[in-house]
Amino acid sequence: MPLSIGPVDLFMGPSAVGAPDDLRAAIVGFIEGAQRRLRVAVQEIEDREVTEALIEAKRRGVTTQVMVESSYLGRHTDDDEPAQVGHYFRPDAEFLHNSNRLMLEAMLRAGIDVKLDLNPKIMHQKFAVRDSDAVLTGSTNWTPTGLDRNLNHVVVVHDRNVTKDYRKEFEELWDGSFGVNRPRRDPKPNERWTQRADDTGPRVPVKVLFAPDHGPEMEVMKQMLKARSTIDFAIFTFAQSSGIDDTMRSVACGSGAVGADAGAEVHVRGSFDGGQSAHDWAAARSLLGRDNIELHRSHRRGSVGKLHHKLMVIDEQLIIAGSFNYTAPATTLNDENIIVIGNLETADDMPSLAGRSALIPESIEAQQELAGYAKDEMSRIVTEHTVPLR
């Protein structure tokens, strides 16, 4: 079962490979909850059950808009183009991503408004906006592999202000504003003190950033520099082109937190996807060499696919989740998002925060419980799906 605290629902999956939550059920349930409008921006939609949920939403009168990455729809399996135009009309023609094309065709036949991205790099988003009060995001593409085999997460936030942030991003994409070709810049991201519409449950601080406008890489680095004790992460792609590995090494050496904890060594534990971490450009081996940095790489045994998370937990209180891999293209060229759940600042660090919601014990307890759920899954991954990186 997912962990639901205050306005945040946290899903760690997929359950088919031993994780606690069913990611397909999370996405389908989110879609089924729509009453008026759905706005979807997802790199890849290949799962039939999810597609059927979108079509059913349209059938019951929900205005449904879908944005997908174009590169998954038109690639031929051969290096050369087919010799005859008639090849494209053959029902048995061999194409990569045929299932993506079938899902797209079904949505179009159902009258769903679908657009393809115009980013010359990657539209890597994986979010959906429901009505005006809920948003779903995370690391998973809406594919059978992403929902049944790859290690992924989904986050749902029930808050009007956070939903508005994602709605504005969707509208920019829908209007044709992608990547570095955006004609304008987004305002500075705000930390939202989220709470359910009925004002029940604890308030949870949430901050949303979009690439390339907000430079999510800098936010990840900034949060790591606040670490006092631990940094845990699970990541699909982590390249030396990112500044995150340099910051991680610096924090591990005691150059992070200020105040009473200045100079303290932070224990870093990370899990990399086994395939991605083997490349020369990967940051994995550049982080080795310190006793307080513990690294692992995933293995693909049994039905487990890729370690596809883009997930970090700092000091067992703050989560950084979303679609964002730790690479230079992700922060400068792609369309991406991260969602920061929690707040590591204290009244000692910043007196102006005294009395704010994040410092109320109930809120801090909620942040720690959410972070603990994510960290427990990363611990399970280390135990069941990785080997030490040496």
- In angstroms, how far is CA 48 from the centroid of its own chain? 22
Q: Does pLDDT of 152 surpass 70?
A: yes
Bridge-based pairing state of the strands 152-157 and 8-13: antiparallel
Q: Do the Cβ atoms of 20 and 377 come closer than 8 Å?
A: yes
Beta bridge partners of 230: 267
- How far is it, in rounded angstroms, from Cα 337 to Cα 319? 14
Match domain 3-181+192-388 to its CATH number in 3.40.50.720, 3.30.870.10, 1.10.10.10, 3.30.413.10.
3.30.870.10
Q: In this predicted structure, what is the pLDDT of residue 258?
A: 54
Q: In this predicted structure, what is the pLDDT of residue 214?
A: 84
What are the start-end ranges of the E strands in the chain?
Answer: 3-5, 8-13, 37-42, 63-68, 113-116, 126-130, 134-138, 152-157, 191-194, 204-211, 230-235, 267-272, 293-298, 310-314, 318-322, 336-341, 386-388
Quickly state the pLDDT bin for 79 (edges 50, 70, 90): very low
User: Can you give the pTM of this predicted structure?
Assistant: 0.90
Quickly state the pLDDT bin for 69 (edges 50, 70, 90): confident
Q: Does pLDDT of 276 surpass 60?
A: yes
Q: Does pLDDT of 305 surpass 60?
A: yes
Quickly state the pLDDT bin for 190 (edges 50, 70, 90): confident
Q: Does pLDDT of 199 surpass 80?
A: no
Q: In this predicted structure, what is the pLDDT of residue 355?
A: 59
189 or 185, which is more confident: 189
| Portion of the chain with pLDDT greater than 70, in percent | 84
Looking at 1-15, 64-78, 85-99, 122-136, which range is the least confident one?
85-99
The pLDDT of 172-197, averaged and rounded, is 74
Q: Where do the domains of the chain lie? A: 3-181+192-388
The pLDDT of 180-184, averaged and rounded, is 57
Q: Do the Cβ atoms of 257 and 227 come closer than 8 Å?
A: yes
The pLDDT of 288-295, averaged and rounded, is 92
Looking at 91-95, 158-162, 246-250, 379-383, which range is the least confident one?
91-95
Q: What are phi and psi of 149, to 5 degrees?
A: -125, -45
pLDDT digits (tens, 9 = 90+) for 217-228: 999 999 999 999
Q: Do the Cβ atoms of 303 and 16 come closer than 8 Å?
A: yes
The pLDDT of 40-54, averaged and rounded, is 94
Q: In this predicted structure, what is the pLDDT of residue 119?
A: 60
Q: In this predicted structure, what is the pLDDT of residue 3?
A: 97
Mean of the per-residue pLDDT values of the chain: 86
Q: Is 146 exposed, middle or buried (0-12, 13-18, 19+ CB in 10 A)?
A: buried
Quickly state the pLDDT bin for 82 (edges 50, 70, 90): very low
Q: What are phi and psi of 191, to 5 degrees?
A: -80, 130
Structure tokens at 309: 């998370």
- How far is it, in rounded angstroms, from Cα 367 to Cα 233? 17
The pLDDT of 149-158, averaged and rounded, is 97
Tell which residue, 209, 217, 314, has the closest CA to residue 256: 314
Q: Does pLDDT of 77 surpass 50?
A: no
- How far is it, in rounded angstroms, from Cα 41 to Cα 114? 10
The pLDDT of 283-294, averaged and rounded, is 90
- How far is it, in rounded angstroms, from Cα 154 to Cα 149? 14
Q: Does pLDDT of 278 surpass 50?
A: yes
- In angstroms, how far is CA 56 from the centroid of its own chain? 26
Looking at 157-161, 170-174, 197-201, 277-281, which range is the least confident one?
197-201
Quickly state the pLDDT bin for 185 (edges 50, 70, 90): low
Q: In this predicted structure, what is the pLDDT of residue 251?
A: 93
pLDDT digits (tens, 9 = 90+) for 311-354: 999 999 999 999 999 988 888 788 899 999 999 986 566 555 55
Structure tokens at 32: 């089924």
Q: In this predicted structure, what is the pLDDT of residue 263?
A: 61
The pLDDT of 28-46, averaged and rounded, is 96
The pLDDT of 21-32, averaged and rounded, is 98
Q: In this predicted structure, what is the pLDDT of residue 62?
A: 98
